[in-house]
A and B are shown apart, each in its own frame.
Chain A
């Protein structure tokens, strides 16, 4: 059984809200770099950038950050194909890096991303934006910007679909024993 938690327009509203919060928190977006974590974090980062552009008139830099090589669970699965990493030409030094991912769960992906960023340079600050926070953190990590807080049980599956990858925009939850 699959339930739709957010539909396309819900997601658009959430992204717009996140964009406003980013601008407010950082007093503009001049120094902001949005780094999406592949696969679905990247298109979400692009959309947030577009929303910020509509607010501020200028589009912040975006990039893609694959964290596979920094993961701590590599040995639990066969070697994975790498996703693209592209860092804006200006780099991350002294900028505000906003990591963007689709779902925040254990926090291990973000832990790996923080390590990856520190190998790329020294940002002034790192913030985290996610479409869904489903809880069950295993590390002391919390998001700065959340599209939807979604209480779940561990065995449920939360799936964020984006039209750039999946052909549709929605957030669904399935499985579990509720």
Chain B
């Protein structure tokens, strides 16, 4: 099934406010922003009422699990693309931990092609660093980079590249094609059977702890390695105050490291685990409020470059069980922007330009997603999300586009709603619904 249709030649987004600033008519012609005209002056066959809506560059998710191939019962490229589009995204990076693992040109091209067929967002496959995520032998990184999917981000996400030599080689090797290693920082021996953040609460609940040091020690090692070999490093889902400190230190030293934080680590804390409800089980685990505050600060000051969803759909049976047996992960694509608005914008930690940078510009730059994160300005590719900043909505997992239901925000009222999305000039979401 293909949503790819001919883009109308001209679309006017009437009365939009780029980055929440002055109202304009955004005139889109041939997939490009032709001009920002005074409000009410633009005319075209297709006029979208964007009165008062905030216009941002289409969001880019550097960290998504689309589960295809292998776990199509939890998500497919198609359903994940829908969730992404409805969440305001125009591009997503699909993680490699599929079945089979995306560790060959064949698998990444398949995912790439499925994304094109779905036609709602650009799906950039992430290539595995090691064969089968096994952590022992480099996957054919060059072949994936040279494939039709043009892979630039490599990650064993879900597993840590814990072998220091292998990590060093990977960092070095991808320099040849401007790639980046996105590390899931988790020292495996320190986190055997880990179930939640290690602290007072894990001791009380009798759940095996996932200590902050297991994340921080790997990040510390990796920034030093990246420095040593002169490579760029990306750190996935930073979750602890100590990690923020290490990355801040590394950036101050000029080390080429970037980092992401998930929406759930910006909003939720380990206290939710008291319920033993596996919807709150995630890797890295929900941490303490002190960690959350450090993440806010790190994201605000640019230590953390990106908000990435780590959207991790799971079939019902993998969550509707006891904590210990449940899978790690939470949905995120359709709630990310709202959570960032709640935690960062409404609190004054970021303005809309800041939100655009962390959710579009920076991830596009890190992932080399050409044509994304170009900004709402004349001459840029017209990938735009229009957000109603005043609206609030109550999260109902049954109403989300994902195949899975494991949203930790069930019943929560969140601010800001995505109204319209354009990808390269074509409307993918209109009035909060997928455009047919």
Direct A–B contact present (CB less than 8 angstroms): no
Residues of A within 8 A of B (CB): none
User: Which residues from chain B sit less than 8 Å from chain A, CB to CB?
Assistant: none
